[in-house]
Amino acid sequence: MQWDVLRHLHSRPDASLHTLSELTFQSDQSMGELARRMVGSGLLERVPGPGRAVRHRLTPQGQDAYERGSGIVDTVLEESLGVLTTQERAVLHDLLLRAAEHAKSNW
């Protein structure tokens, strides 16, 4: 779960807790608790946003963890999905996105 947060913050710096909760399919309360623990472990930092909003950003330690995790994920994906053609991977990706959107709309 933490790597998923790191991944989303890498592509969306300064995301709000609510945005992160939606991206990771968690409740706002669960995401808030996870973010608190990740701030405490030095992976994230809280930064002021517009108005009273609080945003989150990767720390250098969080960026390093993201990069190390990305290599592991790439290896696992290649080992598990490497037998699929490029077209089959694209179809799988589209199906997973569709399933995720359906799950998100019913949450």
Residue 83 within any structural domain of the chain = no
Q: Can you give 50-94 as a three-state secondary structure string?
A: CCCCEEEEECHHHHHHHHHHHHHHHHHHHHHHCCCCHHHHHHHHH
Q: Which helix (H) or strand (E) holds 99?
A: helix 86-105
Indicate the Cα dihedral angle 52, 106, 57, 6, nearest 10°. 160
Closest CA to 9 of 79, 61, 51: 61
Residue 72 within any structural domain of the chain = no
pLDDT tens-place string over residues 19-69: 999 888 888 899 999 999 999 999 999 988 788 888 999 999 999 999 999
pLDDT tens-place string over residues 63-87: 999 999 988 988 888 888 889 998 9
Q: The domain that contains 37 carries what CATH number?
A: 1.10.10.10
Q: What is the pTM of this model?
A: 0.74
Number of domains in the chain: 1
Which residues constitute the domain of residue 20?
A: 2-61
